[in-house]
Amino acid sequence: MTEQTILYQGAEAKIIKSTYLGNKVVQKQRVHKRYRINEIDDFLIQSRTKEEAKVMGLSRTIGVNVPIIYDVDLAKGCITFEYLVGERIKDIFDKITDEERKHLCERIGMQIGLMHNAEIVHGDLTTSNMILVEDKVYFIDFGLSEINAEIEARGVDLHLLMEAMESTHSTHASFFSSVIDGYQKTYEGDVSLVQKKIDDIIRRGRYR
């Protein structure tokens, strides 16, 4: 048995540091929730594990920075990943200079553009789910991701990041426009349509 330490206990999974075939790895172990009935619990754990592994594999092939997957165990709801050494964007976002932040946001947007080109929707774009490794932005936690070709889904994806920036980095929330600038550089579709969706979603939200 290899030595295991819990790095983080998230809302839906435990993130465990371990070793696999001699490599330092991170395991994402989805946990059962007592509060939901087995039918929903099993369905969510299995479908999310499967979808996550599938989408991450695809992401890597199209140039999105994601950790390498070593193993997927659907029955256990466990994925084994490469161990990344870097910093969470959430932790550094408010500490860097405006110029660095602008550059960082553009790179975030460029990566999201690549995902959307491949019809990948991350589903949980928050700064806690991005890791800066040297100068590359890595994306983790594809647990709510899906393959979806609709412009609406892309709008929801970016709108979520906008909201996350407003709630977590409220003093620098205006840098969301730099995310869009970066997005524009890689996204092959019509950015104005996606922007229109974001505006629609903002308006649709209650009491805005």
Partner 1 sequence: MITLGIEGTAHSIGIGIVENQNNYCNVLSNVIKTYRPETGGIHPREAANHHAEHIANLIKQSLTEAELKLSDIDLVSFSQGPGLGPCLRTAATAARALSLRLKKPIIGVNHCVAHLEIGRGTIKECTDPVLLYTSGANTQVIAFAEGKYRVFGETLDIGIGNCLDKFGRSIDLPFPSGPIIEKNAENGSNYLPLPYSVKGMDIAFSGLLTRAQQYIKEGKSINDICYSLQETTFAALTEITERAMAHTEKEQVLLGGGVAANQRLRTMVKMMAEDRNAQFFVPRKDLCVDNGAMIAWLGYVMVNSGITMNIDETSINQRFRTDMVEVSWR
Task: Point out which residues bind partner 1 (CB under 8 A).
Answer: 10-12, 33-37, 39-40, 43-44, 123-126, 128, 144, 156, 160, 163-164, 166-168, 170-171, 201, 204-208
| CB proximity list for 4: less than 8 A, separation 6 or greater | 16, 17, 18, 27
φ/ψ region of 141 (left if φ > 0, alpha if ψ in -120 to 50, else beta) reads left
**What's the closest the beta carbon of residue 142 comes to partner 1, in angstroms?**
12
Longest dimension (CA), the chain: 54
Considering the candidates 41, 42, 98, 124, report the single residue annotated as catalytic.
Answer: 124
Q: Which is nearer to partner 1, 106 or 124 (CB)?
A: 124
Closer to partner 1 by Cβ: residue 10 or 57:
10
- Closest approach, Cβ 203 to partner 1, in A, equals 11
Give yes or no for a contact between 19 and 38, defined as CB atoms under 8 angstroms apart: no
Length of the chain: 208
We find the least distance from the C-beta atom of residue 39 to partner 1, in angstroms, to be 4
CB of 13 to partner 1, least distance (A): 10
Of 147, 135, 130, 133, whose CA–CA distance to 62 is shortest?
147
Active site residue 124: yes
15 or 96: whose CB is closer to partner 1? 15
Residue with smaller CB distance to partner 1, 113 or 143: 143
CA angle at residue 61 from 56 to 65, to 5 degrees? 60
The residues that are catalytic are 124
